[in-house]
Structure 1
Amino acid sequence: MPAMLEVKALRHRFGTGPGAHTAVEDLSFTVEAGELACLVGHSGCGKSTLLRCVAGLTRPTGGTIRLHGTEVDGVPPELAVVFQDYGRSLFPWLTVAGNVEFPLRSAGLDRRERASRARQALDWVGLADAHRRFPWQLSGGMQQRVAIARALASRPALLLMDEPFASVDAQTRFELEDLLRRVRREQDTTILLVTHDIDESVYLGDRVLVLSSSPASIVADLTVDLPAERDQITTRESAEFVALRGEVARLLRHRAVVGEAS
């Protein structure tokens, strides 16, 4: 059986000539079905470019990306993306339910099925009672929950998340992290999440893929040996968490120093 996601020798270069910039270089990894894998790297290292290539939003200049063994050429219908800027991703003139249902229209689902999926997804993220409200009536954390619900309603084979919690306060971030782990466990969702936050990558992930400085490549693939049930306080205080966080930090610091030296 092929991996859920296989990225092989991926390369992407912006522009040509002296002003060209290589954002991703010879990058390879796989994600198995049901995994939550975190890509962690410094700001500007090429994380978002990588995710856009995986999502089919940017055509890479080299390498291959396969989903279920089929090469990605355009945006796959069984894939969903949650971006960092939740405020711009929601339609202010649609209700919460309308926003969640919107992508389902292009999938050819009838009104009853769209409404059923929207109710279920909003229940997963704890917003069942907010379905008639509008995005501008919600807090930032609640808006991001709507964006997550919209992605989950399509029941994607793979959920891509680009620093989805970077724009919310610390307490809301913790709540959304726990929400993501719960929904992922209950729905057996496969997730690839990009972040620059070391603690977040260790707390959320089954694996942490450490990226080099630009151009991005994989420098380490670390298994997160933490219990499936995690707590924002006790897990982060555990010796295992502290040790892995330190290892990721050392890898990132070393690669940054090497990049500056070169």
Structure 2
Amino acid sequence: MTETKTMLEVSGLGHRYGGGGGHQAIADLTFQVRTGELACIVGPSGCGKSTMLRSISGLIKPTAGDVRLGGAPVNGVPTDLAVVFQDYSRSLFPWLSVRSNVEFPLRSRGLSKAERRSRADEVLEWVGLGAAAKKYPWQLSGGMQQRVSIARALACRPSLLLMDEPFASVDAQTRFELEDLLLRVRKQFDSTVLLVTHDIDESIYLADRVFVLSKSPASIVADLEIPLGDERDQITTRESETFVHLRSEVARLLDVRSAQAPAAAAAETIEKSTVDDTTKQLAEAEKADAHN
């Protein structure tokens, strides 16, 4: 029997905003994601999920712990890692066509113009946007824009795809469609995915494993295998006895008393402000590159 390799190793990861007396967003996070696995992180509001993801991706430098991708330490943003954010409207360049948005991160990878075009067209077909290649993001619906973001990430053929609540800003029907799209393209590209969500049902429907976080500062309180098989359906899978049992188990693990709500809300405000600043700086840097 072939042993499954580990793609991502997170050991003792912690991050504190504002120095020694500041807000401790995450504390002593330790887990692994196996190669080819789709793992979901779910936790209460304000627990530090986005801070964790940005620490793993190298967008921010954690104040404690170690992150390794394919055995190599993460210092800065790895070239074989891609991130899909929740706010697709801010992650796409409105002055570039859909195809050019997908090609953009490939410019720094030494690919010829023909190779960039071929790879972009391939992934756009896979996300159902082959006919929209010449359109601009502002001409597309929210769900279609998020498909462009996913296509751009897949075009890089990353070893690890990180997704930060990628379907939270679309309507319920579009969300189901995007979830099924992720399962299809993950299987097609044999991708390793770590997805952060606050939605219990989504985490169980998508994942091979679900990591449950505690309230802030976040730590792992459970690592659950999801035995739902490879073929999943939005109706029959969600109606199954296994799905219902797992949903109840995760809900119990996430049970947060009302007395903790004000602290969680305050933590979420601090985290969101810092994360927004990081994302804004990244977008401004990419915009400058696009004009050069």
What interval of TM-score do these two structures reach, taking the shorter chain for normalisation?
over 0.9
Show the counterpart of 1:223. 225
Deviation at 1:3, TM superposition (A): 1.4
Is residue 15–residue 62 contact of structure 2 (8 Å, CA) maintained in 1? yes
Q: Taking structure 1 as reference, are residues 258 and 28 closer, same or farther at Cα in structure 2, changes over 3 Å only?
A: farther
Normalising by structure 2, we get a TM-score of 0.86
Alpha-carbon separation, structure 1, partners of 2:12 and 2:62: 10
2:5–2:35 Cα contact (<8 Å) kept: no
8 A Cα contact 1:36 1:204, kept in partner: yes
Separation of aligned partners in 1, 2:257 and 2:195: 25
Amino acid at match of 1:224: I
Instruction: Report what 2:279 is aligned to.
Output: none
Amino acid at match of 2:10: V
The equivalences for 1:178-217 within 5 A come to: 178-217=180-219
Q: Percent identity?
A: 68
How far is the alpha carbon of 1:17 from its aligned partner? 4.8
Partner of 2:15: 12
Tell me the residue number matched to 1:251.
253
- Cα deviation for residue 43 of structure 1 reads 1.7
* 1:257 CA drift (Å): 3.2
Q: Secondary structure at the match of 1:4?
A: strand
**Pairs within 5 Å for 1:43-122:** 43-122=45-124
User: Is the helix fraction higher in 1 or 2?
Assistant: 2
Structure 2 CA distance, aligned partners of 1:90 and 1:60?
A: 27
Per-residue CA deviations over 1:240-261 (Å, capped at 9, x if unaligned) read: 00000000000000xx239839
Q: Which runs of 5+ in 1 are unaligned?
A: none
Equivalent residue in structure 1 for 2:153, among 151, 163, 175: 151
CA-to-partner distance for each residue in 1:194-219, whole Å, 9 max, x for gaps?
Answer: 00000000000000000000001000
Letter in 2 for 1:29: F
Q: Distance in 1 between matches of 2:19 and 2:187?
A: 44
1:141 to 125, 140, 143: 143
Q: What's the counterpart of residue 161 of structure 1?
A: 163
- Amino acid in structure 2 at the alignment position of 1:6: E
Distance in 2 (CA, whole Å) between partners of 1:17 and 1:185 is: 44
Aligned mates of 1:125, 1:190 — CA distance in 2: 17
**How far, CA to CA, are the matches of 1:40 and 1:234 in structure 2?**
23
Q: 1:190 to 1:259 in 2, by over 3 A?
A: farther
Instruction: Report the AA paired with residue 257 of structure 1.
Output: R
Say whether the 8 Å CA contact 1:41–1:212 is kept in structure 2: yes
State the number of aligned residues.
259
Letter in 1 for 2:260: E
Q: For residues 45-72 of structure 1, what are the alpha-carbon distances to aligned partners after superposition, in whole Å with 9 as ceiling and x for unaligned? A: 1000000000000100011000011110
Distance 1:2 1:71, change over 3 A: farther
